[in-house]
Amino acid sequence: MNPILAEITQKYLRTDMPVMGPGDTVKVFAKIREGNKERIQAYEGVIIDRRGSGISETITVRKVFQGVGVERVFPLHSPRLEKIEVTRYGKVRRAKLYYLRALRGKATRIKAKSRQGV
């Protein structure tokens, strides 16, 4: 990477990110602008994808709302993200959990992982 570009992007990288990966249940607090008001909206779901690196790193969070699967992509280093809380660590054997899209009901459950020393 160009040293000038690296210096500029280094300024905007967030350092307050928790350790998280695919299968983890997270609560993302995003700033939403409605008209001239700004509020914080919480979005809780399972991380099914983590891609990119550096300033362009994103996570895809999936939840089921009223029987319909909803996915949102969040840039991790965006100033629109207030914070991210990991509510549950999941034990999975894949880096991309796209197969959860085809599953219904209790089949979408992910086993919990105990994180000791983290």
Residue 112 domain flag: no
pLDDT tens-digit readout, 13-22: 999 999 999 9
pLDDT tens-digit readout, 42-63: 999 999 999 999 899 999 999 9
Q: How confident is the model at residue 113 (pLDDT cuts 50, 70, 90)?
A: confident
Q: Domain range holding 71? A: 3-90
Element (H, E) at 41: strand 37-51
Count of structural domains, the chain: 1
Residue 63 domain flag: yes
Residue 118 domain flag: no
Residue 116 domain flag: no
Global pTM? 0.87
Residue 103 domain flag: no
Residue 40: partners with Cβ closer than 8 Å, 6 or more residues away: 29, 30, 31, 32, 82
Residue 113 domain flag: no
Residue 13 domain flag: yes
Residue 14 domain flag: yes
Q: Residue 26: which CATH number?
A: 2.30.30.790
